[in-house]
Structure 1
Amino acid sequence: MIDALYVAETGLQAGQKHIDTISNNMANLNTTAYKKGRIEFRDLVVGREVTSLDETGKRDLVSIGNGTQISRVWKEFQSGDLKATENPLDLAIRGGGFFEVLLENGEVAYTRNGAMKVDEDGYLGTLTGYRFSDMIQIPPDAKELEISQDGTVTAYFDNDSLEIGQIQLAGFMNAQGLDSIGQGIYVANDESGNAIYSDAGENGIGILQQGYLESSNVDLVKELVELVTAQRGYQACSHVIRAADEIMQITNDLRG
């Protein structure tokens, strides 16, 4: 019965993390370019010797289930629907790829959120204050800004136009391995591999769509179904603890 308590405890801990992840997905249903989180579980198995001997005179080892735990929490990077905003500083990626931005410490990070602004020095960056690593500076007298599907940025003036840079996209061999640091920002690691840079529209990395933003890829109906499943699993583990406690109480009463 003691084993049953510990096994059920691992189930409760894993179930709570599962429910928290689903709740976070649902809370970010309307967050621009949000990528839903998913959890993978694995069995906790221990090997124990059996009392009987095999034909060689050695004791066998048997695998005994000892509960479950979270093996990893990862992001699903399927593209969300594109939503038209008619704002020239909104940019969406139609397909794979990430924008590369500069963090405050000078390191690079990656995002799918293309809601941009021009900072006080005229550089394109995210609404959260991170500049694009392409370091595209908008002339102060520019009247209009155009970003083509391949990332070419053109500024228009009263009687002239000027190509001022190009936004490149970054791809990864294993995007699911990226570490999330919040606000839709991700950093590369050994699991994701280094970024592979390409112009938009090349090497299957996707194209850019000005005047659009990417919606989250959360499906509310699927999350509700997943939530019910997770809650029932959590409830089952709590029943195991209650049943083990009742059996232990009966055993104590018999001994008394």
Structure 2
Amino acid sequence: MDASLWVAKTGLDAQQTRMNVISNNLANVNTTGFKRDRAVFEDLLYQNIKQPGGQTTNNSQSPTGFMLGTGVKINATEKLHMQGNMVNSQAPLDVAITGDGYFQIQMPDGTTSYSRDGNFKISSTGQMVTSQGFPLIPAITIPNNAASLTIGRDGTVSAELVAGGGAQNIGQIQIARFVNPSGLKPIGNNLYDSSQASGQAQILQPGLNGAGTLNQGSLEASNVNVVEEMVNMIETQRAYEINSKAVSAVDGMLKYLNQNM
């Protein structure tokens, strides 16, 4: 029965971890470009008391075995990269990706990170940057005399100059695709790093070879479904309660043995 206590404890730990995942999803329900997480469960090693197919007599075998499980654990948390809803912001520097792909962001150490958050700003030097000030790759510099900015669905960026200066092509936004987006490593600030699991980034022009297209004046909302997360929360709470009751039941059985043996 001591083993039962430890098995139930693994259930409590796993459900607590799943609740942490759900809480993080709900906390980021309004985070631009956020992708919800899902906890992946895995059973632990088994105690092999009797091997399946073992000889019961000279001419017969056991059709089943006798194996006792030792509990459960969270094996992984998986990002679900489904498309979030489009929010019309009408801001000229807001850009949303419809379909597959990620913006390339240059980090302070010179490495490249990736994001679905297209809430861009203008730096003091005229560059398009994230809300943390990290530049977009390839660099887009907006002229001081730009009256308006147009970002095409294919990533072409052009500026209409003041005083009838005409339109000027100032750059091309490219996006990155990955063979396994779930293998991207979230690092906070709405950013991801590539990993061996995600594969190397494929740099593409929006709208070509499976890459998504760009929508100016829109932002991609979080793909968290509040109703679904609330259902998952209730399910997790009930699973936690039943594991807690298993601990209480084993404790009562041990107490009975101590008092009556």
Shared fold (TM-score, shorter chain, > 0.5) = yes
Instruction: Return the alpha-carbon distance in structure 2 between the equivalents of residues 134 and 48 of structure 1.
Output: 58
List aligned pairs for 1:114-125, cutoff 5 A. 114-125=118-129
Match of 1:75 in 2: 79
Match of 1:166 in 2: 172
Match of 2:2 in 1: 2
Instruction: Return the alpha-carbon distance in structure 1 between the equivalents of residues 3 and 169 of structure 2.
Output: 69
List aligned pairs for 1:34-183, cutoff 5 A. 34-50=34-50, 54=55, 63-158=67-162, 159-183=165-189
Asked whether the 8 Å contact 1:117–1:125 carries over to 2, the reply is yes
Match of 2:214 in 1: 208
SS in 2 for 1:143: strand
Deviations 1:50-85 (A, max 9, x none): 49x74799xx98542110001100111101110111
Residue 218 of structure 1 is aligned with which of 205, 224, 233? 224
Show structure 1 runs of 5+ residues with no match: none
**C-alpha distance 62-189 of structure 1, shift in aligned 2 (>3 A):** farther
Asked whether the 8 Å contact 1:172–1:193 carries over to 2, the reply is yes
Deviations 1:224-246 (A, max 9, x none): 11111111001111011111111
Instruction: Return the alpha-carbon distance in structure 2 between the equivalents of residues 141 and 193 of structure 1.
Output: 41
Tell me which amino acid in the other structure corresponds to 2:106. L
Instruction: Return the alpha-carbon distance in structure 1 between the equivalents of residues 185 and 259 of structure 2.
Output: 53
Tell me which amino acid in the other structure corresponds to 1:192. S
Per the TM alignment, residue 46 of structure 1 is displaced from its structure 2 partner at its CA by: 2.5
Instruction: Return the alpha-carbon distance in structure 1 between the equivalents of residues 144 and 5 of structure 2.
Output: 67
Tell me which amino acid in the other structure corresponds to 1:161. A
Residue 229, structure 1, aligned to residue 226, structure 2? no
Tell me which amino acid in the other structure corresponds to 2:225. D
SS in 1 for 2:45: strand
Tell me which amino acid in the other structure corresponds to 1:94. T
Deviations 1:177-219 (A, max 9, x none): 1110012110010111111111001112110000000111111
Moved more, 40-49 or 230-239: 40-49
Residue 11, structure 1, aligned to residue 36, structure 2? no
Instruction: Return the alpha-carbon distance in structure 2 between the equivalents of residues 140 and 197 of structure 1.
Output: 29
Per the TM alignment, residue 45 of structure 1 is displaced from its structure 2 partner at its CA by: 2.1
**C-alpha distance 92-41 of structure 1, shift in aligned 2 (>3 A):** same
Show structure 2 runs of 5+ residues with no match: 59-63
TM-score of the aligned structures, taking structure 2 as reference length:
0.92
TM-score of the aligned structures, taking structure 1 as reference length:
0.94
Instruction: Return the alpha-carbon distance in structure 1 between the equivalents of residues 18 and 233 of structure 2.
Output: 8
Asked whether the 8 Å contact 2:49–2:67 carries over to 1, the reply is no
Residue 192 of structure 2 is aligned with which of 183, 186, 202? 186
